[in-house]
Amino acid sequence: MTRGRPLEGDGAGKRLLPWVGSGVLAFVLLPLLPDAINLENLLAGLLIPVSVVLALVPRWERHPAWMQAVPCLLPFVMIGLVRAGNDSAVVAYSPVVLLPVFWFALYGTRPQLLVSVIGVGITYAIPSPALSGGGYPATEAIAALLWMVIAGISGFTLSELVRQRELLATRLELTARTDALTGLPNRRAWDAELEREILHASRTETPLCVALLDLDFFKQFNDLNGHPAGDSHLKEVASLWRTRLRAADLIARYGGEEFAVLLTATDALQARQVVETLRGSVPLDQTVSAGIAQWDGEEPGPELFARADAALYEAKRSGRDRTVLASGRELSRA
């Protein structure tokens, strides 16, 4: 769900349940009010199915976000009708005006929330029939102002808590998908992006290649220079390789000294050129072994990756410092 567009996507019905359920419960208990059977109460009750239909039937992704606020603002109209049809200026159902405020605090934008807070004040500022014979007492305006303040404090506090929770969830998700040492996507992110790019390649009928690159004899490098130097070397390699790829491509640290590269809209020959560029831009003249596999148009992600991994193994087995296609055909050295 995109904030400000709560009626779209999966779970829209569940998001509607709290305020729809509250509205239904409120009007099931409507006969308990004095003089419950009147035109205003009947119209208010009729707005419940109208609001549900407005919320669930239209294809909201085709409409501007502001239109999604309309069904969720109908409780103000309902309460206004109930207040107009009863003899008390403050009826039992008036607190229902807080439902749109909480709704927009959870799922809406700040402007939508502000509109709902203003709606609370307008609803409470409307005089009831009991006051129509006399003047407009100051207590009515004071009540409207106080309810607006309460709604504003509650709504914006809840909205900020939700926003902080969303930011924390985003940070946690980013951390879970990022390699702590190099800052590159990690294996988890790689697996998700590989499946997504295969679906995209299938829809667009464009080539897709996976390349695996492994720093040769990295264990000896660590033993000779120490692990801090090894970590620094990995970070430098990751930074250099990332700058030599297009924005549409993906490079991830798959594990240890092994890096996975996803080359979109790229065939095997083009992928070889890219990989050779990467192999030639490693500091300290360290050599790199690589394997490349081009998606065959049908295979799932794990099989495509396994073919690239087999090509990498062949490159290492046959002497390292070379690039091999998944077919096993050795390519020219960089």
Domain spans of the chain, in order of start: 12-176, 187-325
At 29-58, the pLDDT tens digits run 767 766 667 777 777 777 777 777 777 777
The closest alpha carbon to 212, from 188, 243, 180, 190, belongs to 190
Sign of the alpha-carbon dihedral angle for 23, 25, 27, 30: negative
Strands of the sheet with 323-325, listed across from one edge: 250-255, 258-264, 208-215, 288-294, 323-325
Reported as a single tens digit per residue, the pLDDT across 152-173 is 999 999 999 999 999 998 889 8
Of 233, 204, 218, 232, nearest in space to 288 by CA: 218
Euclidean distance between CA atoms 30 and 189, whole angstroms:
53
Residue 333's pLDDT band, with cuts at 50, 70 and 90, is very low
Q: Give the pLDDT score at 1.
A: 64
Rounded Cα–Cα distance for residues 93 and 91 (Å):
5
Contact between residue 79 and residue 123 where contact means Cβ atoms under 8 Å apart: yes
Nearest alpha carbon to residue 152 among 115, 108, 107: 115
pLDDT tens per residue, range 101-145: 988 898 888 988 999 999 888 888 775 544 455 555 667 778 788
- Determine the average pLDDT of the residues in 305-325: 95
- The predicted-structure confidence for 248-282, as pLDDT tens digits, reads as follows 999 999 999 999 999 999 999 999 999 999 999 99
CA 90/CA 92 separation, integer angstroms = 7
Answer for the pair 105, 113: CB distance below 8 angstroms, yes or no.
Answer: yes
Packing angle of the helix pair 98-107, 110-125 (nearest 10 deg): 180
The CATH code for residues 187-325 is: 3.30.70.270
Neighbours of 52 (CB within 10 A): 17
pLDDT at residue number 80: 78
Give the confidence band of 313 by pLDDT, cuts at 50, 70, 90. very high
Q: What is the pTM of this model?
A: 0.64
pLDDT at 189 over 70: yes
Q: How many residues does the chain have?
A: 334
pLDDT score of 73 more than 90? no
Distance CA 82, CA 86 (A): 6
Helical spans, DSSP H, in 39-109: 39-56, 69-84, 98-107
